[in-house]
Structure 1
Amino acid sequence: MPIEIIPGSYCGAPPPPDLALYSWNLDPFLLAGLLLMLVLLWRSRTGPAGVGVLVLAFVSPLCAMSVGLFSARVVHHVLLVAVAAPLLAAALPARRASGAALPFLVSTALLWAWHLPAAYDLALRDMAVYWVMQATLLGSALWFWRAVLAARGGIEAVLWSLAGLMQMGALGALLTFAPVPLYAAHALAPLAWGLTPLADQQLGGLIMWVPAMLPYAAMIALSARRGWQAGAGRGVA
């Protein structure tokens, strides 16, 4: 059994369905950190929206629900890596293009590694490991999206966004078609919601497989439009 540094679940015990909407996380350290981030990014166009997504992930009842339901945990992770990360990346100062291959490989490896049953279950019963999970998922996704936004020409951004879409869909498909429940952390709580652990896992896989790919598709469309406009501008010149 791995040594636990700070035993316990960060968002507490999974709430029953009738209390779920009242299970807000009002951790003062978390709220102070989010408020500081909001102040620093207030003047940017996408920063406040990115902070708002983090509030939804960590402060709203979704935080507590994700302790019990794998499907809610998938929504939480998707909000981090596919919604908050690109919004925050766009709010930061522009960076010079340096290639997206390494950020893609690192962010993909971390996303898949944290969904290995042993790593996943440890993160949900150890608060220190939980925050390592959150920091590495968000940080690596932020790195990836920064590289996509800095890519030279629309086609490069399109291709890397497509790569992100494909890896997210592949992980979702594997979770959807897994024949048995993979996560001990969600062995009991889904029953209170009228779901078997396997059905909850399949729902989470479907969320990662289809809706989670929409932000990548949006980036593909935006990048293609940016590339087309740049090409049209050169043609006029």
Structure 2
Amino acid sequence: MDDPVRWVPYCGEAPGPEAWLSRWNFDPVLGAFLLLAAVALLHSPAARALPPVRRRSLGGAWALTVLLYVSPLCALSSTFFTVRVVHHIALVLLVAPLLAHGMAPWLRGARVPLWTATAAATVVFWVWHAPAPYAAALSSDALYAVMQLTLLISAVAFWLGVRQSQPTAAMGAILATTVQMGLLGALIMFAARALYAPHFASMLSWGISPLEDQQLAGLLMWAPGSMAYLVAAMCIGWRWLRSERADALRTRPA
């Protein structure tokens, strides 16, 4: 087993159950980034010109980012692989679509190839959940930042591509992503041994084994994670059917 002293990820050393609630992240670099993001996304002239619903989306994305990286959830993700997976699912399924929705008016001229974006988001997600790249990201603050940014940027591109595409293509891309998310979750859940070295010793004080933690993380990715994509596809399909029905009623002879 790896020496736990090696693993001091960006969110700090893994806290025990008695300390994690006090572990807020006041990194000045993160604070400066969040301040600049708040100005650009919420208070700039371009942001104030957005419709209220777009501004609410951007505000929600910003607030979720604060929750993920400033609150004690950040420190808890150093302990549990499950919490790290929750972080990543929240990035790609909550923060990214909120950003894509909010920024859509700013990016009208930028066409995102849907299937290229789908492939890129899939590759990025799978790479960072392979044991070796994951362990490397928890050994380097710079690589950790690369992991988080590539997950977010690729997911924003995916959701922009979905928004710009015809309903059938958008649903196809979302369903493909549902399958890959479920497959990765199943592979993690049914692995015969613990795979993620940074968490081998981090949860001993919690009375949970690394394999149990990994199995729960895989289950969350497999079930709620993939189901969230499926719900998004169903919503697009429902709106498409309603639109088609409304068009048919308008064109029907009196």
TM-score normalised per structure 1: 0.91
Match of 1:99 among 101, 107, 113: 113
Residue number in structure 1 paired with 2:207: 194
2:222 is the counterpart of 1:209: yes
Q: Aligned residue for 1:60?
A: 71
Range 155-164 or range 213-222, more displaced:
213-222
CA pair 229-40 structure 1, distance change in 2 beyond 3 A: farther
How many pairs are equivalent?
A: 230
Offset at residue 36 of structure 1 (A): 2.5
2:90 is the counterpart of 1:74: no
Residue equivalent to 2:12: 12
Instruction: With the length of structure 2 as denominator, give the TM-score of the two structures.
Output: 0.85
Matched residue, 1:229? 242
Q: 2:104–2:160: 8 Å Cα contact kept in structure 1?
A: no
1:137-169 Cα shifts (integer Å, max 9, x gaps): 1111111011011112x2222221111111111
- The answer as to 2:198 corresponding to 1:185 is yes
When Rg is computed on C-alpha atoms for both structures, the one with the higher figure is 2
User: 97, 105, 120: which is aligned to 1:86?
Assistant: 97
User: What is the aligned partner in structure 2 of residue 165 from structure 1?
Assistant: 178
| Aligned equivalents of 1:13, 1:205: Cα separation in 2 | 23
Post-superposition shift, 1:229? 2.8
Shift of 1:93: 2.4
Asked if residue 115 in structure 1 is aligned to residue 129 in structure 2, the reply is: yes
Letter in 1 for 2:184: L
Q: Distance in 1 between matches of 2:246 and 2:56?
A: 25
SS in 2 for 1:195: coil
Shift of 1:115: 1.1
Alpha-carbon separation, structure 2, partners of 1:64 and 1:215: 26
- For structure 2, the 5+ residue unaligned runs are 1-6, 43-49
Displacement of 1:53 in angstroms is: 1.5
Following superposition, the deviation at residue 116 of structure 1 comes to 1.2
Aligned-residue Cα RMSD (Å) equals 1.7
Unpaired segments of 5 or more residues in structure 1? 1-6
- C-alpha distance in 2 between matches for 1:53 and 1:163: 26
**Contact (CA 8 Å) 2:92, 2:151: kept in 1 or not?**
yes
- Structure 2 Cα separation of the partners of residues 117 and 40 of structure 1: 36
Whichever residue aligns with residue 206 of structure 1, its letter is L
Counterpart among 129, 147, 152 of residue 138 in structure 1: 152
* Structure 1 residue 149 corresponds to structure 2 residue 160: no
**CA shift in 2, pair 1:232/1:47, >3 Å:** same
CA distance in 1, matches of 2:203, 2:112: 44
- String of CA shifts for 1:74-93, please: whole Å, max 9, x gaps: 11111111111111111112
2:4 corresponds to? none
Identity, in percent, stands at: 41
Which residue number corresponds to residue 47 of structure 1?
58
Relative to structure 2, which stretch is displaced further, 126-135 or 213-222?
213-222
